[in-house]
Structure formats: C-alpha cells, structure tokens
Amino acid sequence: MHNSTAQALCVAGRCNGSLATHSLSSELSLGVLVLLASLMVLLALLTIAGNVLVILAFILDRGLRHHSNYYFLNLAISDFAVGVFCMPLYIPYSLTGKWHLGRDICKLWLALDYLLCTASVFNIVLISYDRFLSVTRAVSYRAQQGIASSPVVKMVAIWGLAFLLYCPAILLWEQVAGHSVVAADQCYAEFFDNWYFLLPASTLEFFVPLLLVTYFNLHIFHDIHRRQRHGAGRDPQLPRSSSSLSWRLCLVPRPGASSPPPLEAEDSVSSSTRPKKEPWVAENSSPSRGGSVAPENDFPAPVRARGRAKLRRDERMAKSLAVIVCVFAICWAPYTLLMIIRGACQGTCVHSSLYEMTFWLLWLNSSLNPFLYPLCHVKFRMAFRKILCPKKSAALKSGSC
C-alpha cells in the first residue's frame, strides 16, 4: 500500500490512535483541544504519582516485602514507565497529528509502549497465578516463600516474554519487508493493518491472559466456597479422607519439633493476631471413624482460629483480585477488538475518534492500578498513609489519636 493511501485509510497502531492525515486540531475547537490536553496531562500525572506511591511504599515498608507483593511492584514499575515515557510523547502527537522527533525516537517509543503495556498485562496474569497458588496450594506455596530468587526469575521472565511479542516486529519489520508504509511525519507500527499479525499477537496479549485470569479466579472462589462448606478450620491442603488424629499431628507441632511454616503475611491480618504457640495434641486423641472429613470442632481452638483467619484473608484477596481483573478486562477489551477489526478492514470501518477513545481507555488501566491497591489491600493503605500523612499515622500508632 502506498504511503498516501495508507495514511488516508488507517488509524495508527497502539499508542497512535489519531495518526491519520487529519489531526484532532483540524476537527475540534481550541477550547476543546485545551480541555483534552489538560485531561491527558492530568492522567499522565496521576499515573506517575500513583505508581511512585506504590514503589515508595514497597521500599519504605518492610511489611510489604514478601513474595507476592514483588509482582505488584513489577506491575507498578511498568505502569510508572507508561506515565513517564509513553503518555508525554503521545500527547502533542495526538493533538497535532504530526511526529517531530524522528524515526529512531519513534521506534524506541513504539517498542517501549508495546513492551510496557504487554508487561502490565502479563504481570496481572502472574499476580492472579500467585494468588491462585496461595489459596489452592497453600502448604506448598508457603514452603517456597523462603526462595528469594523465585519472584525475581518470574519478574524477569515477564519482561522477556513481553519484549518478544511485539518488539522484534517493531524494530525489524521495515528491514524484512524492504520498505516502510509510515510517512516521515508519522509514527505508528509497520504492521498497523496486517490482520494476520495482529490477530495472533492480540490473542497472546489479551485473550489468552483474560482466559487465564478468569480460570484462576474461578478456582479461587470455588476453593473458598468449598472451605466455607466444610469448615474454616480445615487447611485446604489436607486430604479430605484422613483421620482426625493424623490431621492434628500435621497441624500441631509436638514439643521440641520445629514450628510449621508461618502463614503468608497477608494484607489485613497482622502477625500479632496469630497464635504464638500451638498446644500439643495428646497421642491418644481419638481419630474420627471411617476416615471421613473431620469437623471443624475436632481441631484445637488455635488451629481453628488460624484457619478462619486465613479463610477471611483469602476471601478479601479474592474480591480485590477480581476487581483488578475486571478493570483490566474493561480497559483492554474495546481496544483489542477494534484493533483486530481495523486490521481486517484496513482501517476503513473504524472511525479515528472511536479508536482514540479505546486507546486512552487502555492507558487508563495503568492509572487505575495503583489506586486499586489501597482500596483492596489494607497493608498498602497503611503504607500510603505513612507516606502521605506521617504525623497522623504516628499518632494513630501511638494511640493518642
């Protein structure tokens, strides 16, 4: 397709929703343009500020530095980079319709934007998978908490997979094709109208992650519902057919034995609420008959209390994760569907304004993520309070207020 035809028909790829031959400035009044520019700048500032707050909370509050929260940190880093690099470069381009920074900066911008947006999606999948393991595979999950390299390896793998999905195509497509379809004053991906590339790429970027997080969340809620039916005191990793005595010997340490691995330091339950010492169950405790599931009352009181506390934590965690996943689906689905439709019809059936709105909705996800943490996680909320209101936080901690 010649450059002039491509510009007339297309709406640009991800990060360049209004890059047709006409710009927003040619369609809208000056007042509307000023309002749009103000909203774009405000969204970028909120994205930066919110994710900086998450990163600072993780650095300053040792209570947040456990296994699962590293994945929230990874998500905050990718969302922070979107606000620092991607949004500011796109705002003048969106309003004027012309790129003035050259082809090299254009390719760098496109590669980073695709990388950061994809990494954000993959981080949400990783967070959902981690929560899935902590609820449905609690014993094995706690046993791995001491492996410090485990979250780091997964975080690096996320960035590697995100890079491989789009960045080689962005950087090498022109060399492989032998020519460019992008005008000198424009900046969008060379594959903007290649439906055969966009469909599998968007499937790996959105549809597969959406199916995975849906699967993980459904299993989390199913596991919680099952434990509510059978009693909160039973550890979900214990076998369903075992004697009450064997359960007690597994759950309760004997004198001189090493204590079991601690429960995960989750958001809304402090370590002070956990029992400091478990009572020893006598060897002659009578087992339940028939190998049936022992009722909750068969367990010692500290064990039941610990099981109920974990169940409450899992319920809160499941609800908060469901909120994050739903926001992700709402923000990404319109853009992904329009991107595939636009590629299939060569841009003729998708209006630039509609695509532009879905594109900013995609970026809105990076702005909302840090504000979902304090809404859903008590420990993040407490850490934010310490940073934003240190005096009030100190007064509350001392009990004088």
What span, in angstroms and rounded, lies between the C-alpha atoms of 187 and 196?
21
pLDDT digits (tens, 9 = 90+) for 279-299: 433 333 344 434 444 454 555
What span, in angstroms and rounded, lies between the C-alpha atoms of 238 and 248?
11
Could you tell me the pTM of the whole model? 0.73
Domain extent listing, the chain: 3-223+345-398
Q: What are phi and psi of 347, to 5 degrees?
A: 80, 0
pLDDT exceeds 90 at position 167:
yes
User: What is 50-113 written as a DSSP string?
Assistant: HHHHHHHHHHH-GGG-STTHHHHHHHHHHHHHIIIIIHHHHHHHHHHS---SHHHHHHHHHHHH
- The pLDDT of residue 147 is 60
Q: Which residues neighbour 183 within 8 Å (Cβ) at sequence distance 6 or greater?
A: 3, 7
Q: In a 3-state reduction of DSSP, which class is residue 30?
A: helix
Question: Do 316 and 264 touch, CB atoms closer than 8 A?
Answer: no
**How confident is the prediction for the chain on average, in pLDDT?**
74
pLDDT exceeds 50 at position 209:
yes
What span, in angstroms and rounded, lies between the C-alpha atoms of 361 and 333?
10
Helices (H) and strands (E) in the chain, counts: 14, 0
What span, in angstroms and rounded, lies between the C-alpha atoms of 210 and 212?
5
Task: Tell how far CA 255 is from the center of its chain.
Answer: 43
- The pLDDT of residue 308 is 66
| Beta-carbon count within 10 A of 31 CB | 8
- Maximum average pLDDT range among 5-14, 15-24, 130-139, 202-211: 202-211
pLDDT exceeds 70 at position 384:
yes
pLDDT exceeds 80 at position 124:
yes
pLDDT digits (tens, 9 = 90+) for 231-283: 644 544 444 444 343 334 344 444 444 444 433 434 433 344 444 444 433 33
| Range 3-223+345-398 classified under CATH 1.20.1070.10 | yes
pLDDT digits (tens, 9 = 90+) for 4-54: 333 333 333 344 433 333 456 566 678 888 898 899 999 999 999 999 999
What span, in angstroms and rounded, lies between the C-alpha atoms of 377 and 39?
28
What span, in angstroms and rounded, lies between the C-alpha atoms of 211 and 200?
15
What residue type is assigned to position 390 of the chain?
Answer: P
